[in-house]
Amino acid sequence: MPEREIRQIIYLHQREGGARHFLREPRQRADKMPRQRGLARAEIAPQRHQIARPQHPPQTRGQRGKFFFVFNDLRERWHFRDSYGKNWRHFKGNGMENTYQTDVLIIGAGPVGLFAVFECGMLKMKAHVVDNLDEIGGQCSALYPEKPIFDIPGYPEIMAGELIARLEEQAEPFRPVYHLGQQAEKMEKLADGTFRVTTSRGAVICAKAIILAAGAGAFGPNRPPLEGIEEYEGKSVFYMVKRRRDFEGKKIVIAGGGDSAVDWALSLADIAEKIYVVHRRDKFRAAPDSAARLQKLAAESGKVEMVIPYQLHGLEGADGQLSAVIVADLDGAERRLETDILLPFFGLTPQLGPFSDWGLEIAHFHIPVDQATCETAVKGIFAVGDVATYPHKLKLILTGFAEAAQAAHAIHPLVFPGQELHFVYSTSKGLP
């Protein structure tokens, strides 16, 4: 078993109030535990007992910042501990109502939301983060972790997944608490000007300010209208590619004519056994250069076949595993494509979700803000990143980074009323 498949499991027991040290054993994952990048190494204690505080062996540099989960039978909740041996906190409970107090609640764990954690931390403000996905990173993690980004300052090229890992590392010293796999639903503004937000999993988070960093809001894939497709989703039908190696040696049907369909056809061509690109017309919406490269690859290589003009018509398979995809042309003539994987790329449907009931001004699925502070029409609620809008805004990640800094500085007097904030460069003050 590879070294990376080995994880440290905590054995806890109450005998004489002691606890055994870390033991290295094959990892045991929980079906309901989050798959967030920094917490992906979190494991379950095979014996579930009330939490004890063991004495831990010295931490190596590579172990610092890792997280571990244990189950507390007394409170019937999962708890996590970082490898510094500090800060036991609740995380993703069993649906019972849990109440948390924090300075700032950040909704959205994409790149801008993660940088907002850092900016708030630099001003000594604590943050909790809520995200509808089961992992941090937003679209960078969910849709294109292995696609390069070229407009991040200081990085001529960086993979989206690597960017998220770096931002997570940057935020780590400020110990944010992530509430993943749940949506911020109900918001109440209290008499003292603070906020109480309830999530879809029953967590109640009280904060002095809220930063909305939800990108384009909650989003979901546009599913093709194929009978029984739900049976195959997550097994042989995928709406995103997280790891290229998962598709090595596979026969793949890619449906769509946009950038995602074309880019992934080009990317997977060198590792897949066969790729069928299904599109209803011979013109693609993707970048012209990429579309031309795909056409050339299909003409020169037998591994990529353009199935045009066809549309998805049906699925064949059993127990969640596809054996074939049925396509039909505009005249109804059908063709059977033997395949292992279907990747339908028909775009995403943005939804602001509960935000529309929070008394915020909404303009075309975006939230107008004061450009100087990023504050919305509701005092104490700020919006940054793609969800925020103002005249002449550029929808870039780096723009969102700047907005996160502006919002954090505007929030400081709400968290520390009467305390003057003196601007100091990070090179002078370091980390708090």
3-state secondary structure the chain: CCHHHEEEECCECCHHHCECCCEEEECCCCCCCCCCHHHCCCCCCCCCCCCCCCCCCCCCCCCCCCEEEEEECCCCEEEEEECCCCCCEECCCCCCCEEEEEEEEEECCCHHHHHHHHHHHHCCCCEEEEECCCCCCHHHHHCCCCCEECCECCECCEEHHHHHHHHHHHHHHHCCEEEECCCEEEEEECCCCCEEEEECCCEEEEEEEEEECCCCCEEEECCCCCCCHHHCECCCECCCCCCHHHHCCCEEEEECCCHHHHHHHHHHCCCCCEEEEECCCCCCCCCHHHHHHHHHHHHHCCCEEEECCEEEEEEEEECCEEEEEEEEECCCCEEEEECCEEEECCCEEEECHHHHHCCCCCECCEEECCCCCCECCCCCEEECHHHEECCCCCCCHHHHHHHHHHHHHHHHHHHCCCCCCCCCCHHHHCCC
CB 407 within 8 A of CB 374: yes
- Cβ-based burial of 370 (10 A; exposed 0-12, middle 13-18, buried ≥19): middle
Encode pLDDT of 403-423 as tens digits. Answer: 999 999 999 999 999 999 988
Segment 313-346, tens digit of pLDDT: 999 999 999 999 999 998 999 999 999 999 999 9
pLDDT, residue 429, reads 81
Q: Which residue has the tokens 């003292």?
A: 192
Q: What is the pLDDT of residue 88?
A: 34
pLDDT at position 432 is 79
Which pLDDT does position 49 carry in this prediction?
A: 30
User: Does the model's pTM come out above 0.75?
Assistant: no
Mean pLDDT of the chain: 79
- For the cut 80, the answer to whether the pLDDT of residue 391 exceeds it is yes
- pLDDT value for 350: 64
Share of the chain above pLDDT 70, in %: 75
Domains of the chain: 1-94 (no CATH), 97-218+353-432 (3.50.50.60), 223-346 (3.50.50.60)
Predicted local confidence at residue 217, as pLDDT: 58
Name the residue with higher pLDDT: 100 or 94. Answer: 100
The residue with greater pLDDT, 286 or 278, is 278
In whole angstroms, what is the distance from residue 44 CA to residue 431 CA?
32
Cis peptide before 288 (omega within 30 of 0): no
Residue 233 in this model has a pLDDT that exceeds 90: yes
User: Which pLDDT does position 82 carry in this prediction?
Assistant: 37
pLDDT for the residue 356: 79
> According to the model, what pLDDT value does residue 384 have?
97
Between 61 and 372, the higher pLDDT residue? 372
> For 105-153, how does the pLDDT look when each residue is reduced to its tens digit (9 = 90+)?
999 999 999 999 999 999 999 999 999 888 899 878 876 777 889 999 9
**Residue 299: its pLDDT value, please?**
93
